[in-house]
Amino acid sequence: MFHRLVVAVLAALSLAACSDRITPVSPSLRPGAALADRVPLSTARLVRQLAASRGIVRLPRKPHVRRELVRLGQALAFDKILSGNRDISCMTCHLPAFATGDGKSLAVGQGGIGLGPGRERPDGAFIPRNAPPLFNMNAMMHLFWDGRVSVDDAGNFHTPAGAQLTPEMTRVFEFGAISALGLFPVTNRSEMRAALGDNEIANVPDSDLTGIWAALMHRLGTIPKYREMFEEAYPGTKFKDMTFAHASNAIAGFIVDQFTFANTPWDRFLAGNDYALSDEQLTGAQTFLTLKCSICHTGSTFSDEQFHDVAVAQIGPGEGNGPSGLDDFGRLNVTGIATDLYRFRTTPLRNVELSGPYGHDGAVTTLRGFVEHYSESDTKLFAYDVTQLEPRLQGTLLNTQTAILAQRDTLLNGVVLTDALVDQLMAYMSALTDPAARDLSRTVPRRVPSGLPVDRP
């Protein structure tokens, strides 16, 4: 269950406990705390040392985003003009009211009715994967559950567009991988574009991404307000000389500006405030950092940006893989490498308590349930309880448990978590929430240039 360092860490803890200097907690630092409260400062020092050894650091400074670009990106993110049938926006599945997710295991794309957990399509269709939150995206180099959009250390972009994403387009990008994110949901028929024959965007051949993007820019260009906003956001460039890369970069600018949060209790603790964490959170941090959790959940976002099979049950329509076509091979679909079968990107943990359901297909609906899943995950996979899902998904569990376990990450071998350890980990998760992320209603515009309705549950 424990990483090899645990024995050494616990030994250090035992020694430290004998010589802790106990200091009263300042009421000004912990409002409402009694003067009799005591905090072992050596524990705080040890937790910081453990965090540093795991490479868990504060978020990089948020880049400045010019106001005009944020304004354009906000309008585009909420405007249904970018969908083929003008019935869904980017933010329909990334609702501020649901921590930039939708509260569903699997999203419902174009043609859906309603918002949030109650959204559905008359035919019961779902998007194959969970809609992940949009927090702290400028710090991520691999996007989507399978990492199909990424940027390497040299600044090279790797996307499904291949050569259709030209150097002229990537030169527009200002925020790393997130700048390319907006290029792809608009090309997906299930998510935003709709079926052949439904609209002029949908009638462009699937392989012609350049044509799809050009058609969207033509549609935007028919709205004078958008032409004005684009030229304000990119001074010195005429709208006629812009591509959809300018739109995608603007959406990224809005996301980076509005959904980057770096003022959690944990951040304040890392910055030197010994009293930023409650006693329970500090104990939980120590537990997290001595268990295997912190091997993969590392870095400033608590994601190693690698891909792992953690034995999550496969539900929903899948990605067209396997004999049934209902399986999802994960990272393998991007790389073609057999060992990437069933691997998905490590989930970032900032604001994680706000952003369920969890897993690439949202198969686990509560955070505690997902933490518990890591304990004896082989048993949990075979005992998966479909009743936690909404009724339309309960009959979609795929019988691939044996194949999934054959690829399970060896880090999970032998992991057993007691209820007490889960309690401690849950306490630590609460220290990763920025209070400002709890209410994102300020990010929703009153109106958008197309005049189409703005989703606001």
CATH of the domain at 183: 1.10.760.10
| Together in a domain, 182 and 277 | no
Q: What percent of the chain has pLDDT over 70?
A: 91
pLDDT above 50: residue 280: yes
Query: Are 445 and 74 contacting, i.e. CB atoms less than 8 angstroms apart?
Result: yes
| Together in a domain, 111 and 144 | yes
User: What pLDDT shows up at residue 42?
Assistant: 87
> Could you tell me if residue 445 is inside a domain?
no
Using H for helix, E for strand and C for coil, what is the string for 120-170? ECCCCCCCCCCCCCCCCHHHCCEECCCCCEEECCCCCEECCCHHHCCHHHH
> Could you tell me if residue 3 is inside a domain?
no
pLDDT band at 293 (very low <50, low <70, confident <90, very high): very high
> Could you tell me if residue 194 is inside a domain?
yes
pLDDT above 70: residue 356: yes
- Among the residue ranges 40-54, 65-79, 134-148, 230-244, the one predicted with the least confidence is 40-54
> Could you tell me if residue 49 is inside a domain?
no
Rounded Cα gap, residues 363 and 242, in angstroms: 41
Provide the 10 A C-beta neighbour count for residue 207: 9
Residue type for 328, please? D
Domain boundary among 240, 260, 280: 260
- Reduced DSSP (H G I as helix, E B as strand, rest coil) percent helix, strand, coil of the chain, to 5: 40, 5, 50
Residue type for 90, please? C
CA 274 to chain centre: 29
pLDDT above 70: residue 5: no
* pLDDT tens digits along 182-238: 999 999 999 999 999 999 999 999 999 999 999 999 999 999 999 999 999 999 999
Angle of the 41-53 helix axis to the 279-290 helix axis, nearest 10: 40
Q: What percent of the chain has pLDDT over 90?
A: 91
Q: Tell me: cis bond preceding 357? Omega within 30 of 0 counts.
A: yes
> Domain range for residue 285?
54-59+266-435
Average confidence (pLDDT) over 270-294: 96
| Together in a domain, 332 and 417 | yes
Locate 300 and state its tokens.
Answer: 């400033």
pTM: 0.92
Q: What is the phi-psi region of residue 399: left when phi exceeds 0, alpha when psi lies from -120 to 50, beta otherwise?
A: beta
| Together in a domain, 104 and 163 | yes
Rounded Cα gap, residues 149 and 239, in angstroms: 26
In DSSP terms, 343 is beta-bridged to 330
Average confidence (pLDDT) over 78-95: 98
CA 70 to chain centre: 20
Q: How far is residue 250 from each of residues 99, 141, 175, 213, measured CA to CA in Å?
A: 20, 18, 10, 15
> Could you tell me if residue 30 is inside a domain?
no
pLDDT above 50: residue 112: yes
User: What pLDDT shows up at residue 41?
Assistant: 76
Number of compact structural domains in the chain:
2
| Together in a domain, 276 and 385 | yes
pLDDT above 50: residue 35: no
Rounded Cα gap, residues 74 and 380, in angstroms: 41
Rounded Cα gap, residues 367 and 174, in angstroms: 33
Locate 81 and state its tokens.
Answer: 């003009």
pLDDT above 70: residue 19: no
User: What pLDDT shows up at residue 16?
Assistant: 34
- DSSP H stretches of helix in 291-418: 293-296, 332-335, 367-373, 377-382, 401-406
Rounded Cα gap, residues 41 and 47, in angstroms: 10
| Together in a domain, 159 and 291 | no
pLDDT above 50: residue 261: yes
> Could you tell me if residue 397 is inside a domain?
yes
> Could you tell me if residue 394 is inside a domain?
yes
For the chain, give the mean pLDDT: 92
Average confidence (pLDDT) over 367-392: 98
Rounded Cα gap, residues 154 and 136, in angstroms: 21
User: What pLDDT shows up at residue 23?
Assistant: 29
User: 3-state DSSP call for residue 295?
Assistant: helix
| Together in a domain, 256 and 275 | no
Pick from 133, 143, 181, 175: nearest CA to 350: 133
Average confidence (pLDDT) over 37-44: 72
pLDDT band at 15 (very low <50, low <70, confident <90, very high): very low
| Together in a domain, 243 and 111 | yes
Domain boundary among 225, 260, 295: 260
Rounded Cα gap, residues 58 and 432, in angstroms: 11
Average confidence (pLDDT) over 340-351: 98
User: What pLDDT shows up at residue 11?
Assistant: 38
| Together in a domain, 254 and 291 | no
Q: Tell me: cis bond preceding 323? Omega within 30 of 0 counts.
A: no
Across the beta sheet with 142-143, the strand order is: 142-143, 149-151, 157-158
CA 180 to chain centre: 15
Rounded Cα gap, residues 113 and 121, in angstroms: 6
pLDDT above 80: residue 1: no
Rounded Cα gap, residues 448 and 82, in angstroms: 12
* DSSP 8-state secondary structure symbol assigned to residue 104: S
User: What pLDDT shows up at residue 39?
Assistant: 54
| Together in a domain, 237 and 277 | no
| Together in a domain, 373 and 313 | yes
User: 3-state DSSP call for residue 77?
Assistant: helix
> Could you tell me if residue 247 is inside a domain?
yes
| Together in a domain, 249 and 359 | no
User: What pLDDT shows up at residue 342?
Assistant: 98
Average confidence (pLDDT) over 93-100: 98
Average confidence (pLDDT) over 246-255: 98
Provide the 10 A C-beta neighbour count for residue 335: 15
Query: Are 258 and 443 contacting, i.e. CB atoms less than 8 angstroms apart?
Result: yes
Domain boundary among 231, 260, 289: 260
- Among the residue ranges 29-38, 118-127, 250-259, 318-327, the one predicted with the least confidence is 29-38
pLDDT above 80: residue 294: yes
